[in-house]
Structure 1
Amino acid sequence: MKHAFLIMAHGSLPLLRVLLSMLDDERNDIFLHIDRKSDMLDGAEPLVLSKARLFVLEQRVDVRWGNLSQIKAEYVLFEEALKHGPYAYYHLLSGQDLPIKSQDYIHQFFEEHQGKEFVGINHGEEFEWDCRRKMMRYWLFTSLTRSKYGALNAITRRLNKYLSMLLMPFLHRQKMDFAKGANWVSITQACVEYVVSQKPFVLKRFNYTFCPDEFFLQTLVWNHPDFRAALYSEKDEYEGCMRLIDWKRGNPYVWTLADKEELEQSNRLFARKFDMEHEDIIRWIKASC
């Protein structure tokens, strides 16, 4: 059965072309969502693949960091991919991700672990505080959190903080057993169907929260006994989703040629993030996979 790769992109077109070329395999269908604010394809040469089917989504969401719009963009991808399925797995990637294993390796890995859900769960010490702060308080102006105007950013951050404190007596009423983790996942057909079926609830409950994309899918999986039992790993958030992402050295860290050995020895399937300023490591990964 084929795999679906769902890409959320907004920036570098050259890097996106590399990612697409590395996913260009007859066993894959690729679904591309480009942030509505982005003009990366304007006047550019068409994106053409030779083996995989590529679907560039016409419905584009204006994605804002920390805002419900990130969930809406994910739903646009999931819903479009479901129209063309079924697929063995749906892989959610950013435009700054790259596979660090070959397509043969990746497909063999998922065949050997068919039925597992690759969803990272963060059990860190900060989880309870993070959950209460982001999920229980009301956040009213997250769409302006990262405006292109620096002064507005500062004002919005202060206003959000002040209002969320002011509204603390009026916490979200619906309490849940929340779970948190990276929004980059690889999940089965059944899991995607369930996530899409919960869309009305998700858009209502996770509205006026902060960074809901870190919580919504993990929470759905965690509260579903079958999908929770099928989690690949709960030991480590990024082992759970088989992504190599370093938050200790960056926000997240941008991989360079100096990290070649770490990338080569990793058992993970995908890594982020990459930047064309470090094109040498990108060329090396493409040649290696």
Structure 2
Amino acid sequence: MEKHAYLILCHKCDDTLQYLLKSIDDKRNDIYLHVDRKAKKFDFDKIKSSVVESKVYFTQRINVSWGGFSITEAELILLESALKNQTYEYYHFLSGNDMCIKSQDYIHKFFNENKGKIFLTFCGNDWNRNAQSRVKYFYLEQGRSHVLKVINKILVKTQKLVRVNRLKNLDYCIVGGSNWCSIPNDFAEYLINNKDKIYHIFKYTFCSDELFFHTMAYNSLYKERIYLLKISEFNNDKDLDMFKANQRYIDWNRGRPYTFCESDFNDLINSEYCFSRKFIYTDSNKLMKQILIRINEAEY
């Protein structure tokens, strides 16, 4: 039986995470969760009880900061934990606010028909050019602190004055896009086997989680295996190919990203994608429950 690993970054124990896990729950899937170390009252037993068929594994925990290398580090922890456990056909990276919007029969069939492909969304060349400065200069670990943002701005200005350029001797084309992706086993092994290189290039950078998957794939033989390699001149969040490339329906036009609500049910269910974000389950927004009922009834 070909199995998939779902690798989830989360920071709280809530109904949203539970519905995500219920949408994954299947004997063909194992679930790995990285719980932000800042989450002090996380009910691990409650989360485990959310699933019946899948096995749930909790990884080593670190503090995760927005924009920091810690996100990349947490993703590598998830990937390495899964690889050490067993070989999976695919590794799907999700946040705790995501959900499967297709049945597991559909998802497994889709990835089996596209076996070996790498599902990554690439941003436009204008975005990639701006992203060079994320790697060109050194940054302190990021976060949402205004003080830290000011310190990093001063730090970057100083480095520009003394002409720091971390890209000068780097024979890599820096490209990026959404860090939510699905990758096959051999590319997963390639990333972990090159973990030292990833640390060397991307540690002390800004938002490296949006760069390292793409850069490592684009600058290797795996470039030929990217499911939909499309890099337009200008980034366009309305381009449907961006959803198709990583099979994740994310609406950046109505929010940053937009949180789907019950009125979006038909749009989500009738889409051609396997996953979606962003969701927040509340008493007034039970969309995730509606989707779960629908995908459990689906036959493919």
- Secondary structure of the residue that 2:9 maps to in structure 1? strand
> Which residue does 1:171 correspond to in 2?
165
Please give the per-residue CA displacement for 1:97-137, whole angstroms capped at 9, x wherever unaligned.
000000110011011111111111112423212x2221212
Q: Distance in 1 between matches of 2:243 and 2:200?
A: 28
Over 3 Å counting, the alpha-carbon distance change for 1:117 and 1:105 in structure 2 is same
Partner of residue 156 from structure 1, selected from 135, 138, 148: 148
Letter paired with 1:15 = T
Q: Distance in 2 between matches of 1:60 and 1:2?
A: 24
Any conservation in 2 of the 1:182–1:237 contact (CA below 8 Å)? no
Partner of residue 280 from structure 1, selected from 271, 277, 286: 286
For residues 112-131 of structure 1, the aligned pairs below 5 Å read: 112-129=113-130, 131=131
Q: Distance in 1 between matches of 2:185 and 2:178?
A: 19
- Secondary structure of the residue that 2:126 maps to in structure 1? coil
TM-score by length of 2: 0.88
Letter paired with 2:281 = M
Any conservation in 1 of the 2:132–2:174 contact (CA below 8 Å)? no
> Which residue does 2:198 correspond to in 1?
202
Please give the per-residue CA displacement for 1:222-278, whole angstroms capped at 9, x wherever unaligned.
0112x1111111233332111001111111110011212221221111000101235
Any conservation in 2 of the 1:181–1:237 contact (CA below 8 Å)? no
Q: Distance in 2 between matches of 1:220 and 1:228?
A: 9
Any conservation in 1 of the 2:13–2:42 contact (CA below 8 Å)? no
**Cα RMSD after superposing both structures:** 1.6
> Which residue does 1:233 correspond to in 2?
228
Structure 1 residue 12, shift from structure 2 partner:
4.5
Letter paired with 1:166 = T
TM-score by length of 1: 0.91
Please give the per-residue CA displacement for 1:49-89, whole angstroms capped at 9, x wherever unaligned.
321111122x1011111111111101111111002221110
Structure 1 residue 39, shift from structure 2 partner:
2.6
For residues 128-139 of structure 1, the aligned pairs below 5 Å read: 128-129=129-130, 131-139=131-139
Q: Distance in 2 between matches of 1:12 and 1:42?
A: 6
Moved over 6 A (4+): none
The answer on 1:17 being equivalent to 2:30 is no
Identify the range of structure 1 (199-208 vs 234-243) with the bigger mean alpha-carbon deviation.
Answer: 234-243
Q: Distance in 2 between matches of 1:113 and 1:126?
A: 28
Any conservation in 2 of the 1:13–1:40 contact (CA below 8 Å)? no
For residues 92-131 of structure 1, the aligned pairs below 5 Å read: 92-129=93-130, 131=131
Any conservation in 1 of the 2:135–2:201 contact (CA below 8 Å)? no
Structure 1 residue 43, shift from structure 2 partner:
8.1
> Which residue does 1:51 correspond to in 2?
53
